[in-house]
Amino acid sequence: MRTEIRFVAFGGQGIILAGVILGEGAINDGKNAVQTQSYGPESRGGAARSEVIIADEEIDYPMVIKADCLVALSQPGYDRYSTEIKPGATVIVDEDLVDATEHPAAGACYRLPFTKTADKLGNRIVTNIVMLGSVCSITKVINEESLLKAVKTNVPEKFLDLNIKAFAEGCKIGLRALGQEGPGGK
Amino acid sequence: MKQQTASPGIKARHKPARPFTAEDFARVRRILRRKVLFTQGDIAVGYGALLAGCRFFAGYPITPATETAEILSRLLPRVGGTCIQMEDEIASVGAIIGASWVGARAMTTTSGPGFSLMQENIGYAAMTETPCVIVDVQRSGPSTGQPTEGAQGDIMQAKWGSHGDYELIALSPSTVQECLDLTIEAFNLAEAYRVPVILLTDGIIGHMREKIVLPEFEEVNIIRRKGPTRPPKEYQPFIDDGTKIPEMAIFGTGYHTYITGLTHTESGYPSTDNQPDHHRLVRRLCDKIRNNAEKIIRVQRDFGEGRTDNVTGIVSYGVTSRSVYYAVKTLRQAGMKIDHLRIITNWPFPEKEVAQLAERTTKIIVPELNLGQVYHCVREAAAGRCQVVPLGKTGGEMHTPQEIIETVQRKGC
């Protein structure tokens, strides 16, 4: 089965790294994965997009056709892509950065405190890892252990503990939200 | 015996590069640690180069090609190699030509704007029959265009970018794994035929991450250039030994070699006003590739069963093939007859393979990330046997499978 996940944000919020880690996690899980990205010439502030396709079989077309899961950390990103999703797709947004109250499509929309949680942990830079934890526990697209392994190999040694904590917090937030909303709930 | 140097007065201070061994290969594998990696096309090119024995890199940074230079700047020194950032792309090719003549397997990488600058020295490499690898991570042009977006706009430039008649080899990978595999092949072809080999990746595949599996030494057939079989006194650097590929004595080994971009005789010395000398040289430069085209050319055929009427053909190459696979799968599920030919070797162009496809089909569609380049080659090879339909796209995004499906389904186009 082919699962398409799209991350959208401003450049600098770490979604390209998040996509890389998710892809590597899928490889750790014995699956195939392709990660692609799109960003402007500026390294921070412009629109950024990171896409991951995960499948058991070989992946031919490497881009998202209609997302199974959209993760938005920016309003323009959400506005641009919130309709390019499959019916019943999972939408996950940062509740402080994206207003998704009028989410148009069928399927679950989770509004979660990624940036706030990262701030509480002491460094906003781990927002993307908190988010990944939640994506993992909500979509269950790959095994948590495989993803955590990929987190560990892709973050600086100095911030390893912080990232592990961020990932655990993200998983927790995701699970809690899943319990409240239930799969397929709005 | 007193050591002979290429230029009297200049002391040869370098040591000629030593051959690449199984031990060197194992060392690279140890440095890369894992056998299965999740990495970018650009990085895979760097790993492929190291595993092919590349020990000299010279380049100038440019999006979307810089990652190869970055990784090699870290890893080449660890395997006894050299990585230099040059002042520009002209000098980059100049440097790899020099490195090649002292025996190093040498590479540079760039993107469109830099590739344009490189053309002068690519012609020099072709004329002096210098094995070297040039990676062009294609981005949207002309000029500086869209730095971060991929394209396939340099296919014709790769073949015709320098002036005069010459042949070279160009390869198009369609996956990150192939970025690695074809980099190794590019080095082998460069060494075997003494030509510059162009690896035509693009900004999409260059930055795309996928699973790659690193090869074992036994799986990598390292081909080395042919060395001299005669003693220095009898050696002529550009004499045809019957294969049209001269033996190459590297600098610093006691052989006297003069190289020049001017028309030269077998001795290597200029002969600029002699028609037979020029014709003999340039004819050989072209024939050494044309006569071996069958050995060089690689394609991937995915033809439906049997010869039936109303078959649609698709010719693709590079990253665009990925959309085609998806479209072909979908169209076949809907009962359509589709033959797909994926070109791996863009130059020399697989004319015979395309002609075979044209025999089987009523039309051939050529999707590519430009406004019609390989389309012209396909039309020439098809020679009126079937209709040839261009499906060009520019601006940085791949064809969606749907765009290809719609073109196939459109009647008559």
- B325 closest CB neighbour out of A36, A39, A60: A60
Strand partners, A72: A8, A93
Containing structural domain, residue A93? 2-181
Question: CB–CB of B389/B409 below 8 Å?
Answer: no
Percent of the residues in chain B that have a pLDDT greater than 70, as a whole number: 95
Residue after which a domain boundary falls, among B239, B265, B296: B296
Taking residues B15-27, report their average pLDDT: 86
- Give residues with Cβ within 8 angstroms of B201, minimum separation 6: B41, B42, B45, B135, B136, B137, B138, B172, B173, B179, B318
> pLDDT at residue B227 above 60?
yes
Residue A127 is assigned to a structural domain of this protein: yes
Place of tokens 């000299």: B56
Query: Do B291 and B335 fall into the same domain?
Result: no
Residue B228 contacts A, CB cutoff 8 Å: no
A106: contact with B, CB 8 A cutoff: no
The pLDDT tens digits for B272-293 are 999 999 999 999 999 999 999 9
- Residues of B in Cβ contact (< 8 Å) with A37: 207
Residue A180 has pLDDT above 80, yes or no: no
- The pLDDT of residue B19: 82
* Chosen domain end from B270, B296, B322: B296
Q: Which of B38, B63, B322 sits opposite A62 (nearest CB)?
A: B322
Paired with A90 in beta bridges are A69
Are B317 and B291 part of one and the same domain? no
Q: Is residue A44 part of a domain?
A: yes
Which chain B residues are Cβ-neighbours of A24 within 8 angstroms? Answer: 38, 209
Q: What pLDDT was estimated at residue B5?
A: 44
- Closest-CA residue of A relative to B207 is A36
Does B153 share its domain with B52? yes
Could you give the C-alpha distances from B277 to B236, B237, B269, in angstroms and in order? 15, 15, 11
List the strands of the sheet with B209-213, edge to edge.
Answer: A109-112, A85-94, A67-72, A2-10, A47-55, A32-39, B209-213, B36-40
Q: Do B147 and A41 touch (CB under 8 A)?
A: yes
Range of B208's domain?
A: 1-296
Please report whether residue A186 resides in a domain: no
- List pLDDT tens digits, range B190-221: 999 999 999 999 999 999 999 999 999 999 99
Residues B260/B270, Cβ–Cβ less than 8 Å: yes
B311 and B291 in a single domain? The answer is no
The count of structural domains within chain B is: 2
Q: Mean pLDDT over residues A11-17, rounded?
A: 93
Touching check for A36 and chain B: CB below 8 Å?
yes
Q: Does one domain contain both B251 and B120?
A: yes
Question: Are B264 and B306 contained in the same domain?
Answer: no
Cα–Cα distance between A37 and B67 in angstroms, integer? Answer: 15
Which string of b and e fits B7-44 if b means at least 16 CB within 10 Å?
A: eeeeebeeeebeebeeebbeebbeebeeeebbbbbbbb
Average pLDDT over residues B329-345: 96
Strand ranges for B155-273 from DSSP E: 169-171, 196-202, 209-213
Q: Which of B204, B211, B400 sits opposite A36 (nearest CB)?
A: B204
Q: Is B36 on the interface with A (CB under 8 A)?
A: yes
- Residues of A in Cβ contact (< 8 Å) with B207: 36-37
Same-domain status, B37 and B82:
yes
Any CB–CB contact under 8 A between A146 and chain B? no
Nearest CA in chain B to A25: B38
Query: The domain that contains B221 carries what CATH number?
Result: 3.40.50.970
Q: Clarify whether residues B271 and B321 are in a common domain.
A: no
Question: Does B326 share its domain with B284?
Answer: no
Q: Write out pLDDT tens, residues B118-176.
A: 999 999 999 999 999 999 999 999 999 999 899 999 999 999 999 999 999 999 999 99
Our CA-based measurement puts residue A16 at a distance from the nearest CA of chain B, in whole angstroms, of 11
- ipTM value: 0.91
Q: Residue A65 domain-assigned? A: yes
Alpha-carbon distances of A132 from A10, A84, A88, B47, rounded to whole Å: 16, 21, 20, 29
Q: What is the CATH number of the domain that holds A127?
A: 3.40.920.10
In whole angstroms, what is the distance from residue B132 CA to residue B101 CA? 10
Interface membership of A72 toward B (CB under 8 Å) = no
Could you say which DSSP state residue B304 is in? P
Q: Is residue A53 part of a domain?
A: yes
Nearest-by-CA chain B residue for A23: B38
**Pairing assessment for the beta strands A47-55 and A32-39 based on DSSP bridges:** antiparallel
Tell me if A61 and B322 make a contact (CB, 8 A cut-off): yes
**B389 and B284 within one domain:** no
pLDDT, average across residues B327-346? 96
> Which residues make Cβ contacts (< 8 Å) with residue B159, sequence separation at least 6?
B168, B170, B346, B347
Within 80-139 of B, beta carbons closer than 8 Å to A belong to: none
Check: CB of residue A6 under 8 Å from CB of residue A29. no
Give the confidence band of A42 by pLDDT, cuts at 50, 70, 90: low
Domain count, chain A: 1
**Inter-chain residue contact A27 with B38, CB threshold 8 Å:** yes
For A36, the closest of B147, B208, B326 (CB atoms) is B208
Residue A121 falls within a domain, yes or no? yes
Say what the pLDDT of residue A44 is: 67
Please indicate, yes or no, if residue A162 is contained in any of the structural domains.
yes
Backbone angles phi, psi at B107, to 5 degrees: -145, 155
pLDDT at B379: 98
pTM beyond cutoff 0.90? yes
| Domain-embedded: residue A166 | yes
Contacts of B399 in chain A (CB under 8 A): none
CATH of the domain at B354: 3.40.50.920
Last residue of a domain, one of B240, B271, B296: B296
Q: pLDDT-based confidence at B305, cuts 50/70/90?
A: confident
Percent of chain A scored above 70 by pLDDT? 94
Same domain for B317 and B367:
yes
Cβ-defined contact of A41 to B398 (cutoff 8 Å): no
